[in-house]
Amino acid sequence: MADYVPTTDGGLKNWLINLKTDVPKHVTELEITPARLTNITGWCEALLTAMQTADQAKNVWLAASQAKQTQMDTSLAGLRGEIAKWKVTDGMTDAIATELQIVSGSAPFHPETYQAQITVTAFSGYVRIKFTKNGADGINLYSRLKGQIAWKFVSRDTNSPYDDHTPLAVPGQSEVREYQAFGLWGDDQIGIPSDIVSVTFAG
């Protein structure tokens, strides 16, 4: 018989619960001693507990990340509005603007030639996409399975990194995903697409 252990968290949880419940019914046929049964049950319970703890921590992190993003959008919108008012006052000088760090010393920003820069890393349960804004406000992120033609919109994000929790197209089957991004300027998609980056995701 071929060995089988699920590769997705959902499949693994069900598998562990099934072992914990059903193995005791077959200790005689499988010649499992009481000591070995204790080990088997303990391994299942310990891993289920660890997975539950990880899920709870992930949910807390996701809630905190969303709260951070919401507050960032609110605070930065308010501050940008204030800064715009400061810049047109009679008392504003280059020295004050420099002191308050509200002007950029970088090269002029050209939305039409802007190219987003992204990197991807696969983790258990999600793919993390990191990006640098370099003057843009954020990115529009797209993905597809390797070999497909059409791109699917994933998310608009203004704060790196973005974690893509899209499940596997076929449960339990690893897939190669491709990602591409465009820059954002306000609500407008700008520039040229980023280089296509790929990653193997196992769920």
pLDDT of residue 105: 62
**CA Rg value for the chain:** 25
Encode pLDDT of 78-119 as tens digits: 998 998 888 888 888 888 888 888 877 656 678 888 999 999
- Report the distance separating Cα 193 and Cα 117, nearest Å: 9
- 156 — pLDDT class (breaks 50, 70, 90): very high
DSSP category for residue 191: S
- Give domain limits for the chain: 9-59, 113-201
SS3 assignment, position 198: strand
Q: What backbone torsions phi and psi does residue 198 show, to the nearest 5 degrees?
A: -125, 160
Considering the domain 113-201 in this protein, what is its CATH number? 2.60.40.10
**Predicted local confidence at residue 4, as pLDDT:** 85
pLDDT reading at 2 higher than 80: no
Please say if the pLDDT value at position 56 is more than 80. Answer: yes
Residues 6+ apart with CB under 8 A from 65: 163
Provide the β-strand partners of residue 184: 138, 189
